[in-house]
Amino acid sequence: MRGMLRGIGSVLLVGLLLGCGNQKEAIPISSPYAKAMALRGQGQSLMLEVGASSCYACIEMKQLIDKLHQENPSHQIFVINLNEEREVAKILKIQVIPTQIVYDASGEEVWRHVGGLGELELRELVQKYGI
C-alpha cells in the first residue's frame, strides 16, 4: 500500500510539474541536462537519473549515484531534478519518477527504466553499458 501511494504521488508530481505554466522555460547551459546532452553521442555512454527532490525513491537514487561518484568520479551519470528543470520532463517524455535513461556512445537511447534501482542493479547497469 505504501509503495502504491508513493507511485501515485510520483505520477501526480510529474503531472503537476508538467501542468504548471504555459510558457516554455529555457534550460540553463550549466544544468545537468544541458551538460549531459553536450556529451551525448561523443563516444561514451551516459545515464540520466530523472527525479525530484520531493520524491523519496528519487532521493534514494541520488544517494546511490553520489556513492558511485565518490568511488569513481568519471561515471557519466547525471541527476536531473524536475523541481529545477521542469521542461526536461516534456523533452524526455517522463511520466513517472524516478526514471533512468541510458544513452550509448553514439547517443542512442538504449535503456529506460521507471522506478528506483537497488545498488546492485545500478552497479550492473554501469558495468554493462560502460557508464
Q: Judge contact between 94 and 109, C-beta under 8 A.
A: no
The rounded distance, in Å, linking the Cα atoms of 23 and 31 is 19
Render pLDDT for 18-33 as a digit per residue (tens, 0 to 9): 454 444 567 777 899 9
Q: pLDDT tens across 72-116, in order?
A: 999 999 999 999 999 999 999 999 999 999 999 999 999 999 999
Residue 55 is part of a domain; what is its CATH number? 3.40.30.10
Query: What per-residue confidence (pLDDT) applies to 17?
Result: 47
Number of Cβ atoms within 10 Å of the Cβ of 89? 21
pLDDT category at 16 given cuts 50, 70, 90 is very low
Residue 69, domain extent: 2-129
Judged against a pLDDT cut of 50, whether residue 37 lies above it is answered with yes
Q: What is the pLDDT of residues 52-78, one digit of tens each?
A: 999 999 999 999 999 999 999 999 999
* Mean pLDDT, residues 32-40: 96
Helix/strand/coil for 24: coil
**pTM to 2 decimals?**
0.80
Task: Provide the domain count of the chain.
Answer: 1
Specify whether the CB–CB gap between 85 and 103 falls below 8 A. Answer: no
Average pLDDT of the chain is: 87
